[in-house]
A = this chain, B = another copy of it.
Amino acid sequence: MDKNVVTYMGFESDYQQSCIVLFGVPFDGTTSFRPGTRFASSVMRQESYGLETWSPYLQRDLDDYDFFDGGDLDLPFGNPIRVIDMIHDYSKEVLLDGKKPLMIGGEHLVTLGAIKACHAKYPDMAVIHFDAHADLRDEYMGESMSHASVIRKCHEILEPNNIYQFGIRSGTKEEFEFAKANTYMELFEVNTVKSIVDQIGKQPVYITIDLDVLDPSVFPGTGTPEPGGISFKEIIEAIKSLDTLNIIGADIVELSPNYDQTGISTAAACKVVRELSLVMVEDK
């Protein structure tokens, strides 16, 4: 008898033939407000069952490409540094095998592990960052390893001027000042994505989408909802704009299913992953 296994959108391909490797990271250990992103990847697998493989936006079908769903990492609790190391190691293996990691968080700190691995392979890489929050703190409550400082940590790793932030609408005065000096940041909106994409050209790029960049009306299920965000149509347009880029890896983070009683946030997250997968494939 067959095991009738649940994978994201029914991804059935094996590892070898797939160029994109999806994996879940059920970690929310530095979440300061409302925890629960640890449940995101497993809930998304269940709910992606209701999603069509055909994208009317990109006019492409997931069934025409190969994806591997590696399931979730088995993580310790209470030790963020070990968690980031495990993410790093997994991503590194995927990259060594010539594939692209597509990580489902978890909280935003998980991005650090993947970007460390990507940077080792692509030292000249850039990062495109969608988020409601600047995530540029030096430390938070005395801890430097925090979801609130993750882009600051990435900044320390990358070459200067390689971080592009969109949709930001919350942070301390200091973070906004840091951004003025050190990153490209569009406040509130994502109107300039297209022009930044043109500017980046064929440089290797990592995409990190903190889903709270979406307005809480369409994405309530997150730890720190920030009203005044972008619409679903706007994030889809932004993702479509990425289609010409050389994307080397990506993640979506901060879905917190406990705060998504209606399921609409999970539905949005699943569609974002579908569209993001379809701009990451080759031979489009």
Decide yes or no: A264 and B171 within 8 Å by CB, A4-B70, A31-B77 being known contacts: no
Within 8 A of B (CB), among A13-66: 15, 21, 28-36, 38, 42, 46, 49-50, 52-54, 56, 61
Interchain CA distance A34-B94 in the complex, whole Å: 30
Selected from B4, B141, B233, B262, the residue in CB contact (under 8 A) with A260 is: B262
The interface centre, meaning the residue of A29, A30, A187, A268 with most chain B CB atoms within 10 A of its CB, is A29
The minimal Cβ–Cβ distance linking A14 to chain B, given in whole angstroms, is 9
**Per-residue B-contact encoding for A129-173, CB less than 8 Å = 1, 0 else:** 000000000001111011000000000000000000000111111
Interface residue A254 (Cβ < 8 Å from any Cβ of B): no
**Per-residue B-contact encoding for A68-84, CB less than 8 Å = 1, 0 else:** 11111111111110100
Interface residue A195 (Cβ < 8 Å from any Cβ of B): no
Decide yes or no: A262 and B225 within 8 Å by CB, A1-B93, A4-B71, A187-B56 being known contacts: yes
- Contact A216–B267 (Cβ < 8 Å): yes
23 contacts between A and B (CB under 8 A): A1-B70, A1-B93, A3-B71, A4-B73, A6-B71, A31-B77, A32-B77, A34-B50, A34-B263, A35-B36, A54-B176, A56-B168, A56-B187, A56-B188, A76-B142, A77-B140, A78-B143, A79-B143, A216-B262, A217-B218, A217-B264, A227-B232, A227-B264
3 tightest CB-CB pairs across the interface, nearest first?
Answer: A4-B71, A220-B262, A217-B217
